[in-house]
Amino acid sequence: MKILSIQSAVAYGHVGNSAAVFPLQRIGVEVLPVYTVNFSNHTGYGAWRGPLIAPDDVREVITGIEERGVFGQVDAILSGYQGGEGIGDVIIDAVARVKAANPNAVYACDPVMGNAKSGCFVAPAIPVLLRERVVPVADIITPNQFELGFLTGTEPDTLESTLASVDLAHAMGPRTVLVTSVERPDREQGTIEMLAADDQGAWLVQTPHLPMKANGSGDVTAALFTAHYVETGSAKIALERTASSVYDLLKVTLESGERELQLVEAQEFYANPRLQFTARQVR
State the average pLDDT for the chain.
95
Kindly tell me if the per-residue pLDDT of 115 is higher than 80.
no
Alpha-helical regions (H) of 139-234: 145-152, 159-172, 217-232
Smallest Cα–Cα separation from 151: which of 114, 117, 188, 187?
A: 114
Q: Which domain holds residue 45?
A: 2-281
What pLDDT score does 50 carry?
96
Q: Mean per-residue pLDDT for 29-49?
A: 95
CA gyration radius for the chain?
Answer: 17
- Report pLDDT for 87: 92
pLDDT of residue 158: 95
| Sequence-ordered list of residues with C-beta below 8 angstroms from that of 33, at least 6 positions apart, any chain | 5, 7, 9, 17, 21
- Tens of pLDDT, residue by residue over 200-231, are 999 999 999 999 989 999 999 999 999 999 99
Determine how β-strand 191-198 pairs with β-strand 201-208.
antiparallel
- Give the whole-angstrom CA distance, residue 141 versus residue 107: 9
Alpha helices (H) along 123-197: 125-129, 145-152, 159-172
Write the pLDDT tens digit of every residue in 78-96. 999 887 789 999 999 999 9
Tens digits of per-residue pLDDT, 94-112?
A: 999 999 999 999 999 999 8
Q: How confident is the model at residue 123 (pLDDT cuts 50, 70, 90)?
A: confident
- Count of structural domains, the chain: 1
Question: Residue 154: which residues within 8 A CB-CB, separation 6 or more?
Answer: 148, 161, 164, 165, 168
Q: Residues 229-254: pLDDT tens digits?
A: 999 999 999 999 999 999 999 999 99
Query: Residue 142: which of 112, 99, 173 has the closest Cα?
Result: 112
Residue 24's pLDDT is 98
The answer to whether residues 238 and 195 touch, using CB atoms and an 8 Å cutoff, is no
Q: How many CB atoms lie within 10 A of CB 105?
A: 22
Residue 57 neighbours by CB distance under 10 Å: 14
Average pLDDT for 275-282:
98
Instruction: For the beta carbon of residue 16, count every other beta carbon within 10 angstroms.
Output: 28
CATH code at position 83: 3.40.1190.20
Please give the model's pTM, rounded to 2 decimal places. 0.96
Question: What's the pLDDT band for 22 if we cut at 50, 70, 90?
Answer: very high
> What pLDDT is attached to residue 118?
66
- Whether residue 193 contacts residue 203, with contact meaning beta carbons closer than 8 Å, is answered with no
The conformational region for residue 65 under phi > 0 = left, psi -120 to 50 = alpha, else beta, is alpha
Instruction: Tell the burial category of 118 from Cβ atoms under 10 Å away from its Cβ (0-12, 13-18, 19+).
Output: exposed
The pLDDT of residue 206: 98
State how far the Cα of 225 lies from the Cα of 236, in Å rounded to an integer. 10
